[in-house]
Amino acid sequence: MAPQLVVHRDKELMAQAAAARLITKIVDAQAARGSASVVLTGGRNGNGLLAALSSAPARDAVDWSRLDLWWGDERFLPEGDPERNYTQARAALLDSVPLDPARVHPMPASDGTFAKGADGDGADAAAEAYAAELAAAAGPEDHGPVPTFDVLMLGVGPDTHVASLFPESPAVRETDRTVVGVHGAPKPPPTRVSLTLPAIRSAREVWLLAAGEDKAKAAAIALSGAGEVQAPAAGAYGRARTLWLLDAAAASQLPRDLYPPASP
Ligand SMILES: O=C1O[C@H](COP(=O)(O)O)[C@@H](O)[C@H](O)[C@H]1O
């Protein structure tokens, strides 16, 4: 199924429109199934969306107590570290809405249970634990050891990485496990935990967020038929829908058949 593209004027508008879209999705899923499940992304665009959601008047339409939150990846750092995706999501939105703590599923931190030990940096064990948490939440109606998320969001990195799946890395080649430890990532911090492409593809809808000029080349490559090992964003798609949400700067290098220039 071909991805759908929506291009907004600038990154602020993109964040606001994506937040409005997410509110509607969550409300619809809660009406249809009683609860909703969303996978959050880190990075500038993901946090921009959460901040926009936090100030959206319609945010009170969501029943926050019936929302399951998961993460697509995490920077494997101590609890509370300002660079952790979880810490940033809390600051942008989560601390200001009445979530049910039992339904919030951050990826493990690098201190505590999964602290560095004789068997390595702990990220592989943390990944295994998160995979088990996902498997426990999956039901018979799901298609495997991961729940069928309503929406899974991914920021697109300037090098086409999504979650912590970097081009040509072992993690992007993973076909069996749903969550992996990532070692030696080219973007700091080097140690991370990430959903794999098979886990990402279990979502009903996958939304890729790309705003800013530094995302233009990545969007053009991923949407022009590149392979997923070279361009991980190309391998991120949902069961029912794949949606690229861009701003005009990130869309500026797209092939004309995908994003024709506006008529004069
Ligand atoms: O490190 C990460 O980067 C990507 C992209 O971030 P951005 O700031 O370039 O938008 C993000 O999607 C991922 O969750 C995060 O861990």
Residue 113: CB partners within 8 Å, gap ≥ 6? 129
Q: What distance in Å separates the CA atoms of residue 75 and residue 98, rounded to the nearest whole number?
A: 25
pLDDT, tens only, 88-123? 999 999 999 999 999 999 999 999 888 876 567 899
pLDDT, tens only, 179-224? 999 999 999 999 999 999 999 999 999 999 999 999 999 999 999 9
- Average pLDDT, rounded, for the chain: 96
ipTM computed for the complex: 0.97
pTM: 0.96
Q: Is 43 in the pocket of ligand 1 (CB under 6 A)?
A: yes
Tokens standing for residue 20: 């409005």
Q: Give me the half-sphere count of Cα atoms (radius 13 Å) on the Cβ side of residue 221.
A: 20
- Asked if pLDDT for residue 262 goes beyond 80, the answer is no
The mean pLDDT value for 228-249 works out to 98
pLDDT score at 201 = 98
pLDDT, tens only, 153-182? 999 999 999 999 999 999 999 999 999 999
41 Cα nearest atom in ligand 1 = 14
The domain over range 4-247 is classified in CATH as 3.40.50.1360:
yes
**CA-based nearest residue to 216, from 167, 242, 255:** 255
- Where do the structural domains in the chain lie, given as residue ranges? 4-247
Residue nearest to atom 9 of ligand 1 (CA): 157
E strands present in the chain: 4-8, 36-40, 67-71, 73-75, 151-155, 179-182, 192-195, 205-210, 241-247
Q: Is 232 in the pocket of ligand 1 (CB under 6 A)?
A: no
